[in-house]
Structure 1
């Protein structure tokens, strides 16, 4: 382990937000930094590195990377690429951005991982803490790199981190004071290869925790509820009240046996968001938040953009943007949030998890299925195989066309739901762009209809 980087040669693989954040932090700590990025098109990143006085290469990972005392990898970089395999053979230590930033953290860390719900839950937790007067900083996979937060935030009581499985693959000493695993369902198997490897990566969040620390896990998740080897485990459970944790009894939320509020008062809707609320409430209470701040925040917190986001109502039809639904389970949860008929827009770049469960839910909840993107044909095929009427499936080539078709077929009282069950990278730069394109198309329709 290398905790002092002053004078050390550090190669950073990837000029993403995390890679650039690391470049700033390591430069400030006296390291000799070199950045290697496979893409040739990151103009803004190159300008930022030039201003920072950091040498870099774009378009390849050359042998220059190996002229280093340690290598830092951005989360999106697979760990089995040739340059990293060669680094391992040479014995060059490889760390991730979260691990390196942790070396310089001067406040407790509250970290959340899971397949679905991470961004909503960390944002909710951060809001509760801030409403209790605790100076928390929200960072990590949510878009503000931990390394940037370490460098830029001075007056900090704690860090609230969203942590992905990719980030957890490259930790060694990273230790959250309070952590949580929201759920574990098939995702990112194109990188992790199998569920065992994926689960192992998620469990790394507790790898260095001690008896005085705690981890919150979802009692409704069959892969998590029996983790008996973790002594500091607390449960959150939407279907009952655990002996140690947060749960529901008589329509009310309880945290460590203290009553918080009625479930009906929570602004976030859907069973999955109830689980998110329970987890955030439990963690916040352990971190020193007041019961009043927890209750007040749950009454007011409305969620995040691209996550079950209401966009517009047109002729009695509600349009919902769930572009962050980038895997099958996320879309299943979205579909279960509605009782009225749904026109579902789905498809994109799949994650090799199959669509059988999604197809069964489509038969149950969806009236019209609109598919697009690389895996649109696979979703269509799976739905037909489960008995969904072929005449109720429409294949389109763009998001704008999807919205037009949905508008033409929707009936009053129905929902048009964008919840793709896939990543966005076949047609868009990220899920945010996909969601914005959907919203622009819907709002354009609304203007023409008014």
Structure 2
């Protein structure tokens, strides 16, 4: 861990716990800050706060008292999910207190170089693909960031011989100032999280913070399948290396069924371990990073051909009576579901979809539903999704929860078919998060498998 005196003897407020807040509080205390943690969950229901208090860190739980900010805080480190409209964040900004996220702290102390990955879709898969390529090449690539491993925790233990492979959300990137990756990837930019950011322009601006500190010695990997990326490429000091599944570019591209890097064929697209055009794009981005890092083609081929997906992101669970099951619970918008469907023969797919009603329709999804064997629909958006299914002329049934939906989908399926959970909606009407939703799908798959073999 690199030494820093940025926060030594300074009062720092950590707003919101969860994994990243807890990690930030511990790191700040280790760096000599005078730390106060404020979390909305009551103390007696808050094991993280209890653990921090036992370590001598001040905790205030159950409310967010604005008068707390009358103390002379030099810095606020907020949980990324807390919006900037939050009263505590607003008051901090009014008082001129810098508001950071914990990935900024990770950068301050990291001895390891950083590969930062962001984007609207595909960032978790791309991050994991890169890590597996590193592993295949015998390199130490440490998963960190939005992928479930708090960046500051990983950075504390990382050495200069490691590389931090860091997934970054737009929420995290709004809270950085010095953050400087050596290589950065933006998988794509699409309208999402607008309830948080307010506009697509503000969302793109948040993502673009990834490259703020990059120089001509650094590499920025952009998806030239999007015209917006071509425009953004003109606005960075970094060296841009593009990828595209649509055209030949001066980077990684798809041509005649092969994945290339600068006129050099790397592997067949058909040999990728996961289906779908979106995974071709994820693999192309991974290839650019790997080649930039000097990794051999054999390691790239080995990792990408054996890659079976990320949990909850088009994760292949296996088969029951030659019916394949795929868990794509992380598909929380229409575009992600479109991309998932692109990898299959739709005539053989039973799609499980539905969830939280965010006030939007599914007109853009209807063309991709056409030709499906069937749908199982659930959640708040049931009226809208049934209308979309009817317009696409897809037969459908309704379900109460994912377990019920999985069983109904299996009943509709025949040998050679696919049961695909790809909800196109957030989970919060029924589940705390997409992971819990996906875990119910996995558990039901295991139950069905046991029943068939029992």
Whole-Å separation in 1 of the counterparts to 2:382 and 2:157: 43
1:39 aligns with 2:41: yes
Given candidates 165, 181, 196, the residue that maps to 1:160 is: 165
Q: CA deviation at 1:352?
A: 4.8
Aligned to 1:18: 20
Given candidates 256, 261, 268, the residue that maps to 1:262 is: 268
Q: CA deviation at 1:307?
A: 1.5
Aligned to 2:412: 409
The aligned runs of 1:14-413 (5 Å cut-off) are 14-40=16-42, 42-62=45-65, 63-67=67-71, 68-154=73-159, 156-227=161-232, 228-230=234-236, 232-242=239-249, 244-339=250-345, 340-362=347-369, 364-384=370-390, 386-388=391-393, 392-413=395-416
**Cα deviation digits, residues 180-221 of structure 1 (max 9, x gap):** 110111211111122111111111111111111111111112
The ranges of structure 1 where at least 4 consecutive aligned residues each deviate by more than 4 angstroms after the TM superposition are 350-353
Whole-Å separation in 2 of the counterparts to 1:70 and 1:106: 23
Whole-Å separation in 2 of the counterparts to 1:82 and 1:288: 47
Whole-Å separation in 2 of the counterparts to 1:301 and 1:443: 22
Change beyond 3 A, Cα 1:359–1:252: closer
**Cα deviation digits, residues 361-395 of structure 1 (max 9, x gap):** 21x142322222222332223333x3435xx2322
SS in 2 for 1:357: coil
Whole-Å separation in 2 of the counterparts to 1:249 and 1:412: 33
**Cα deviation digits, residues 294-341 of structure 1 (max 9, x gap):** 122222222211121222423332221111111111111111111133
Whole-Å separation in 1 of the counterparts to 2:324 and 2:256: 32
Q: CA deviation at 1:174?
A: 0.9
Q: TM-score, normalised by structure 2?
A: 0.93
Change beyond 3 A, Cα 1:332–1:135: same
Q: 2:334, 2:424 within 8 Å by CA — same for their partners in 1?
A: yes
Q: CA deviation at 1:66?
A: 4.7
Whole-Å separation in 1 of the counterparts to 2:268 and 2:449: 36
Change beyond 3 A, Cα 1:274–1:77: same
Q: 2:132, 2:303 within 8 Å by CA — same for their partners in 1?
A: yes
Q: CA deviation at 1:80?
A: 1.2
Which shows bigger deviation, 420-429 or 172-181? 420-429
Q: 1:256, 1:282 within 8 Å by CA — same for their partners in 2?
A: no
Q: TM-score, normalised by structure 1?
A: 0.93
**Cα deviation digits, residues 212-232 of structure 1 (max 9, x gap):** 111111111232233222352
Q: CA deviation at 1:343?
A: 1.4
Change beyond 3 A, Cα 1:341–1:214: same
Change beyond 3 A, Cα 1:352–1:98: farther
The count of corresponding residues between Structure 1 and Structure 2 is: 444
Given candidates 422, 430, 433, the residue that maps to 1:430 is: 433
SS in 1 for 2:60: strand
Q: 1:188, 1:351 within 8 Å by CA — same for their partners in 2?
A: no
**Cα deviation digits, residues 411-434 of structure 1 (max 9, x gap):** 333221100111222222221111
Q: CA deviation at 1:397?
A: 1.6
Q: CA deviation at 1:351?
A: 4.5
Whole-Å separation in 2 of the counterparts to 1:20 and 1:350: 32
Q: 2:110, 2:156 within 8 Å by CA — same for their partners in 1?
A: no
Change beyond 3 A, Cα 1:171–1:3: farther
Aligned to 1:9: 11
SS in 2 for 1:417: strand
SS in 2 for 1:202: helix
